[in-house]
Amino acid sequence: MPSPIKYDVSIILSVHNDAKYLARTIWSFSDAANFATQSGISTELVIVQDNAHPSIPHALAQCDFAAFANVQRVVVSVGSLGPCRQAGIDVAEGKYVALSDADDLISYNMIGDMYQHAEKHQGKVVLFPDWLVAFGGQHHLYKIFSLAEVNELALFDHHPFISRSFMSRDYAQEIRLANVPVDGPYAYEDWHHNTNLAANGFELIVCPNTVFFYRKKGVSMLNTVNSSSSKIIPFSDYFIPEKYIDLCATGRQNYKSLGKLPEASAEVLYSAFTSSTLLLELCSAANFIDPAIDLRQIKQSNTFSNRKDDLTAGSAYFQICELLSGKRFTDVFILPFFTIGGAERVILNIIDNLLMLDPSREILFVFGMKISEHHWLNRLPEQVTTCDISYFCGSASEETIDLLTFRTIQAFAPSACIYIKSSPYGYRFWGRYCKLLRNYKSVLLRFCDGSFEMESLPFTVGFDFNFISEYGETVTLFLSDNKYINDADRARLPFLAGKQDVLYSVTTVNTDAEELDNRYKDLHDRIIWASRFDHQKRPELLPLLASSLEREFPSVTLEVWGTAVLGTGDISQLHVHNNVEVKGAFSSFEDIPYRQSDMFLYTSRFDGIPTVLLAALGGGMPVVAPRLGGIPEIVIDGETGLLVDPYLSDEELIQAYIDAIRKIRSSSAIRRSMGNAALKLIKEQHSPQNHLDTIKRNFFDLAN
């Protein structure tokens, strides 16, 4: 039950370790209370001591409280500014509450003027000082504009106000300050509170010609917060999509038409402040109490305001809220973009099984890196929604993209499973926000590590591994399409034991033994190579292979299928070879006339289990491929194909390919045997049922 209203204003004074400042703070508040009394306004002081230093009682005993109509003392042990201030609000007996700290000063007109301003406006209004003068360790002048002048979008990633607010006690008891511990992952209980107020229909305005004097200390609670937290606020009503759109619609339209806010130049602000006799007189009175308030230190160079020119983040979130309005997602995939590749096929298969087991699931693809064009979006089922945050952000910073991703998940997927695909965006995002997403199930889609050579010596690219090393303990599950990479990771990082599983990709068997008998009776003198013309796939070997094939097997044609996805492969030299046919892109392996060929050839620098090899094996083709990554799990040397050593010199490697080709060409029995063994492996290891069982085991069984 709220306390009855006995006074006009209750000052809520939070006290921690401020003994040496208390006398000056109480003096400043007393002057304000006395000035308010002249207008018939009564002031109560509520002192909240939170884990107060032992010196505080003595310091308070030396203060003069005669100016106050009532003084209450509250002792708490919360170690958090929100609950500390709320404890004072809950016992306050004033019609309005004014939040303050024990090391600051206020202009003597602040209490009286804010009371009169609040009475004039009535209703849901929150008042802030017109000006902030910082003093002590640093000096600056800060002009505070009302929220309507700042733009509601600014609250998304910027706090335009301060914690020293003035509002109705009853409203302050209804919309309460959150507990945001100093050493917790979130920060800024005042910013959080002000967003809640704005979202619930409160006007955030300034009281003209009032000044707040903010003491800048070397070490403060704010500094502690900045160093230990992620520097963002907890989720508030402001981020609820429906409320956000309602609150920010006008601001978004204004920003869209203007591009940025009208400039509030330092010169104009400085002149307005220093040319005001009233403001200077208020500063003089404060200086009399604390001479550290030295206006000579205030210059144009350290004068600024709470207006934020760049509202990209808030505007982007507005567009995201419009795009995803009314949706709630069960699964979120954090992707750089969507293009043509094996990883994308794996993702499509995962989605198919998730929806097969639970058709009610709603899936969100979040893209965070720019690409000229996404591919395969037409293959996505209707339950998948795409959100290209990089498109909404323009040239915004990586920090902004990550923040928008985080808020999108909070707002639209509060209990989703998060899937992370290898990318600078995905890893950066998770590294930044994994602590705040610890209650979400998270899945890292793990495929392979890159590689490179120096002086003919092999090196592994540590991009993926380093992420797992640093953040693997925060990830729930590591799902790979091959056993090799799981074993390699676990050998280096034993803590991964029990957190890994192999999801062998689904592959369709597209032929049978009878067709293979007919196919391999005679040689077709055609060899298929199909992949991406990108650095990973070593397309530079193809001209060398073509030359050797021309010498060794003049009748053989090398069919080359594929396209450059990442723009890093050059196959221009292939066109000079008469034994090469460059066929172009393929959307499905069935586009390739593999039944009129003798074998499948594959080159690569690094890999997991390439989906194109699975398709070739599912078509009953003998495969020649490098012995790396997960490839030996499907190309069983001498059974389903032949493996070559990828670490040989180019000349030796080409010869190894030629030797393997010669062996497969030498006997129809070898081709039939390898083709049938390939079909058997696909049926047993890559069946739809095996894939479905793995998805069910990891995402639907009660134990998970």
What integer is the mean pLDDT of 592-611?
95
Measured in residues, the chain has a length of 704
Q: Which residue has the tokens 């009748």?
A: 555
Class of the CATH domain delimited by 7-312: alpha beta
Dihedral sign for Cα 686, 692, 698, 699, please. Answer: positive
Residue 652 exposure: Cα atoms within 13 Å on the Cβ side: 7
Q: Beta strands of 233-343 (E only): which ranges?
A: 303-305, 331-335
Dihedral sign for Cα 114, 120, 125, 129, please. Answer: negative
For the entire predicted model, the pTM comes to: 0.90
- Let me know: does 563 contact 542? Beta carbons within 8 Å: no
pLDDT band at 703 (very low <50, low <70, confident <90, very high): very low
121-135, 211-225, 289-303, 659-673: range with lowest mean pLDDT: 211-225
Instruction: Write the pLDDT tens digit of every residue in 7-50.
Output: 999 999 999 999 999 999 999 999 999 999 999 999 999 999 99
1-15, 328-342, 564-578, 640-654: range with lowest mean pLDDT: 564-578
In the predicted model, is pLDDT for residue 569 greater than 70?
Answer: no
The strand pair at 526-532 and 417-421 is best described as: unpaired
- Let me know: does 614 contact 589? Beta carbons within 8 Å: no
In the predicted model, is pLDDT for residue 587 greater than 70?
Answer: yes
> How far is residue 526 from each of residues 5, 45, 453, 549, 620, measured CA to CA in Å?
93, 92, 32, 11, 15
The strand pair at 384-388 and 451-454 is best described as: unpaired
In the predicted model, is pLDDT for residue 220 greater than 60?
Answer: no
In the predicted model, is pLDDT for residue 352 greater than 50?
Answer: yes
Residue 131 exposure: Cα atoms within 13 Å on the Cβ side: 25
pLDDT at position 134: 98
pLDDT at position 572: 73
Determine which helix (DSSP H) or strand (DSSP E) holds 7, and give its type and residue range. Answer: strand 7-15
pLDDT at position 570: 62
Which two three-digit tokens encode residue 187? 């920060």
Q: Which residue has the tokens 């005001």?
A: 276
Rounded to 5 degrees, φ, ψ at 211 are -130, 135
- Let me know: does 450 contact 460? Beta carbons within 8 Å: yes
Superfamily of domain 327-502: Glycogen Phosphorylase B; (3.40.50.2000)
Q: Report the first-to-last Cα separation within the chain, whole angstroms.
A: 45
Q: What percent of the chain has pLDDT over 90?
A: 88
Contact partners, residue 86, CB within 8 Å, separation at least 6: 176, 177
In the predicted model, is pLDDT for residue 75 greater than 80?
Answer: yes
Rounded to 5 degrees, φ, ψ at 448 are -160, 170
The CATH number of domain 513-686, selected from 3.40.50.2300, 3.40.190.10, 3.20.170.30, 3.40.50.2000: 3.40.50.2000
Amino acid at 625: A
Residue 496 exposure: Cα atoms within 13 Å on the Cβ side: 24
CA angle at 454 for the pair 453 and 460, rounded to the nearest 5°? 45
Instruction: Write the pLDDT tens digit of every residue in 452-486.
Output: 889 888 899 999 999 999 999 999 999 999 999 99
Rounded to 5 degrees, φ, ψ at 568 are -115, 10
Distance CA 314, CA 195 (A): 13
In the predicted model, is pLDDT for residue 261 greater than 80?
Answer: no
pLDDT at position 218: 66
By three-state DSSP, how is residue 358 classified?
coil
Distance CA 173, CA 191 (A): 17
Is 327-502 the same fold as 7-312? no
What integer is the mean pLDDT of 488-500?
97
Distance CA 305, CA 266 (A): 8
Query: Helix 650-665 and helix 668-685: axis angle, to 10°?
Result: 100
In the predicted model, is pLDDT for residue 533 greater than 70?
Answer: yes
In the predicted model, is pLDDT for residue 228 greater than 50?
Answer: no
**Across all residues in the chain, what is the average pLDDT?**
94
pLDDT band at 322 (very low <50, low <70, confident <90, very high): very high
Taking the domains of the chain in order of start, what are their residue ranges? 7-312, 327-502, 513-686
Instruction: Write the pLDDT tens digit of every residue in 273-304.
Output: 999 999 999 999 999 999 999 999 999 999 99
Q: What percent of the chain has pLDDT over 70?
A: 96
pLDDT at position 20: 96
By three-state DSSP, how is residue 93 classified?
coil
Q: Beta strands of 371-481 (E only): which ranges?
A: 384-388, 417-421, 441-446, 451-454, 457-460, 477-480
CA angle at 275 for the pair 274 and 278, rounded to the nearest 5°? 90
Q: Which H, E and C letters describe 529-581, residue by residue?
A: EEEECCHHHCCCHHHHHHHHHHHHCCCCEEEEEEECCCCCCCCHHHHHCCCEE
Contact partners, residue 381, CB within 8 Å, separation at least 6: 351, 352, 355
Which two three-digit tokens encode residue 481? 């399409």
In the predicted model, is pLDDT for residue 224 greater than 50?
Answer: no
In the predicted model, is pLDDT for residue 416 greater than 90?
Answer: yes
- Let me know: does 686 contact 614? Beta carbons within 8 Å: yes
Distance CA 529, CA 600 (A): 6
